[in-house]
């Protein structure tokens, strides 16, 4: 992640942004990567697991499950 920080902050500074602002932007992105990305995928997976369980419980089975 550090190489991305140097690339992002360096690019922002070259384009005229304040280095402190560039570092703050990276910290926000890093914080989202640590929390927001896994949390959103966990919620999607939980929704799929619930829907699969509901379908499994409410649909008729034509044959017994394999042993």
pLDDT tens-digit map of 6-32: 999 999 999 999 999 999 999 988 887
Residue 64 pLDDT class (50, 70, 90 cuts): low
By C-alpha distance, which of 24, 47, 62, 66 is closest to 8? 24
Burial of residue 30 (CB within 10 Å: 0-12, 13-18, 19+) is middle
Rounded distance between C-alpha atoms, residue 28 and residue 42, angstroms = 21
Which residue has 């922002």 as its token pair? 12
How much is the pLDDT for 31?
80
Residue 45 pLDDT class (50, 70, 90 cuts): confident
How much is the pLDDT for 40?
72
Residue 43 pLDDT class (50, 70, 90 cuts): confident
SS3 32: helix
How much is the pLDDT for 23?
93
Contacting residues for 25 by C-beta, under 8 A, at least 6 apart: 8, 12
């Amino acid at each position: 992640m550090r190489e991305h920080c140097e690339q992002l902050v360096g690019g922002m500074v070259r384009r005229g942004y304040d280095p402190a602002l560039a570092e703050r932007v990276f910290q926000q992105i890093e914080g989202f990567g640590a929390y927001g990305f896994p949390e959103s995928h966990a919620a999607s997976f939980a929704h799929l697991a619930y829907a699969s369980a509901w379908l499994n419980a409410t649909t008729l089975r034509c044959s017994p499950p394999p042993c």
